[in-house]
Amino acid sequence: MERFVDVAPGARLWVEDRGAPDAPALLLVMGAQASGLGWPDELVESLAERHHVIRYDHRDTGRSTWSFDEQPYPLTALAWDSVRVLDALGVERAHLVGMSLGGMLVQLAVADRPERVLSATLIGTGALSSVPYERPAGTRIPAEELPGASPALLEMWSRPVEDRGPEAELERRVEHWRALGGDAIPFDASYAREQERRTIAHTGHHHAGTAHARADTSGMDRTEALARTEVPTLVVSAPAEPVYPPPHAHHIAQAVRGARLVEITGMGHALPREVHAPLAAAILEHTGRADRTERTDQAR
C-alpha cells in the first residue's frame, strides 16, 4: 500500500508497506539521495514473508517533497523523519535496517529513541562514534584515520553533475553503481539500468538531487549512547565495500555495545541480485532472534 506522510511543515514523504500488518514491523532506511526504491523489490518481498515491511523516500528524493533550497534541514532531521513514518503507520516499535547514510540514521534512532527500535541492522556505513578501532593485534587506529572512499569514487564525486538529459543521467547513474558495487561480483549494467529507469519514473523526473550532500552534518556523534545501548544490532561486513572499506564494519561492531558481525561474500556498496538471498537470510535471522527475546521478556 502506498501513502503520503507529513513529517514536518512543508515536508511530505512517500511511504509504501508490504506484508501482513500484524507481523513485526521492519523499516528500511535508504542512503543519501536514494529513493526507497533503492531497496530492490526482490529483497523487500523476501523480508515481507515474515515482516510488515515499510520503505519510504527521504526528503528530496523520489516522490517525497523536494524543498531543501527553500527549507534547509540538518541530516539529523532525516532520522526524526523515520520515527514519524512509524508514528503515521501506528507502529510502536520496529526493526530498523539502514544502508549507507541510512545506517547512520538508524544509529541516531538507536541512540536517541531506543524505545522505538526492536533491532538494528547496519549496512555499508560508518560508526557515529569516536572510539578508536582496535586491530586484532591489539594496536589502535583513531576513528578519523580509518580509510575513506576509493579514489575512483572520489574522482567521480568531484565532477560537477550537469543536466544533459534523461538518457545521459541514466548512464551516469549506471556508471556510479558500477563503481559502488566493488570488484568482486560481476556488474550487471542492464539490471542497474532497469532499477534506475524505475526510480526515474517513480520520481517523475531525472534531475539529480544534491540536498543530502549539502545538509548540515553536525551533531551526529553518539559515542556514549552507542557504547551502552541494549538494542540488538547486526553489522553487515561487505568485503568489496568501496565507500566504507574494511575495517569500518568491524569498527562499528566494536563501537556499538553487543553488536554482531556477519559477512556477505562479494558485497560492495550496492544491492545486486547476488546478495539478496544471503542478506535477507542474515536480516531475518537477526530479527527473528530479537523477536524471540522480546517475547520471552514480555512473558516474564
Each residue's pLDDT tens digit, 99-145 = 999 999 999 999 999 999 999 999 999 999 999 999 999 999 999 99
C-alpha cell at 131: 572510539
Residue 297 has pLDDT above 80, yes or no: no
pLDDT in tens, 242-280: 999 999 999 999 999 999 999 999 999 999 999 999 999
Rounded Cα–Cα distance for residues 18 and 56 (Å): 12
- What class, spelled out in words, does domain 2-148+211-299 have in CATH? alpha beta
pLDDT for 165 beyond 70: yes
| Nearest C-alpha neighbor of 207 from the set 68, 16, 53 | 68
User: pLDDT at residue 71 above 80?
Assistant: yes
Instruction: Specify which residues 96 forms β-bridges with.
Output: 27, 120
3-state secondary structure of 23: coil
pLDDT at 299 over 70: no
DSSP strand pairing (117-123 vs 233-237): parallel
Q: Kindly state the cell numbers that stand for 143.
A: 576513528
Give the count of beta carbons closer than 10 Å to the beta carbon of residue 172. Answer: 17
Neighbours of 102 (CB within 10 A): 28
Tell which residue, 51, 44, 63, has the closest CA to residue 89: 51
The burial class, CB within 10 Å (0-12 / 13-18 / 19+), for 239 is middle
Pairing of strands 94-99, 25-29: parallel
Per-residue pLDDT at 163 exceeds 90: no
pLDDT one-digit tens code per residue, 49-67: 999 999 999 999 999 999 9
Q: Percentage of the chain with pLDDT > 90?
A: 94
Cα 216 from chain centroid (whole Å)? 18
Residue 162 has pLDDT above 90, yes or no: no
More confident residue, 181 or 299: 181
Cα separation of the two ends of the chain: 36
pLDDT-derived band at 300, boundaries 50, 70, 90: low
pLDDT in tens, 191-200: 999 999 999 9
DSSP classification of residue 45: H
